[in-house]
A and B are shown apart, each in its own frame.
Chain A
């Protein structure tokens, strides 16, 4: 069963437009959720994690346990936000990450 679902494979917006990348999860305990980003030709890097409740590069994500969602949002997209975004769930005693399939965000000028 898929534990992390990112329904959009591709998302294209214009610069300055709001962006929301969807993530839904399936987990029986208290979930530990992360957003990782991979810019072109770069490594996977942590964007933010729900436990720290911080905003990174203007992105925020709120854990909604009722809807089992952890959507990533930014009010005004920038061209440099174009990247692959992965939602991930931390599981197990060593918090292995279970990733969604990723959403490729393209921000057009």
Chain B
């Protein structure tokens, strides 16, 4: 069964550095999402992406964040200048359809640690 993959599994970076988190969604999926989960807190929506553009973003997704689908397979989340509070588990998800609500399949996550 196809799965969403994410790399790296763990990223450690210094505050102020740029990080790129990578995701390979399931191949015939059209909708892509990033979520994050700060330790001990709930999973929070960051951004959704469809047809090569952002379709919705949360308040968390400020100018420091960007997403890209550079080729036909990868979906990346870039944090331009990391802050301590960006330390979290970042999950990528994809679905075949947006509406009616289709199942979102999640990747295993990337644990980002900002020192």
Q: CB within 8 Å of B: which residues of A?
A: 32, 34, 36, 42-46, 49, 51, 86, 90, 92-102
- Give the distance in Å from the alpha carbon of A90 to the alpha carbon of B45 in the complex: 11
CB distance from B105 to the nearest CB of A (A): 8
A49 touches which one: B41, B43, B99, B101 (CB < 8 A)? B101
Q: Report B43-63 CB contacts with A as 1/0, cut-off 8 Å.
A: 111001010000110100000
- Give the distance in Å from the alpha carbon of A32 to the alpha carbon of B103 in the complex: 11
User: How many residues on B have C-beta within 8 angstroms of the other chain's C-beta atoms?
Assistant: 29
Q: CB within 8 Å of A: which residues of B?
A: 4, 31, 33, 35, 41-45, 48, 50, 55-56, 58, 91, 93, 95, 98-109
B91 touches which one: A44, A46, A51 (CB < 8 A)? A44
With A51-B100, A102-B42 already in contact, the answer to whether A97 and B109 are too (CB < 8 A) is no
- Give the distance in Å from the alpha carbon of A43 to the alpha carbon of B95 in the complex: 15
- Give the distance in Å from the alpha carbon of A36 to the alpha carbon of B95 in the complex: 15
CB distance from A90 to the nearest CB of B (A): 4
With A43-B108, A43-B109, A44-B106 already in contact, the answer to whether A93 and B99 are too (CB < 8 A) is yes
Q: Given known contacts A32-B100, A49-B101, A94-B98, what 11 new A-B pairs fall within 8 Å (CB)?
A: A43-B107, A43-B108, A44-B91, A45-B105, A45-B106, A46-B103, A94-B55, A95-B101, A95-B102, A96-B33, A99-B43
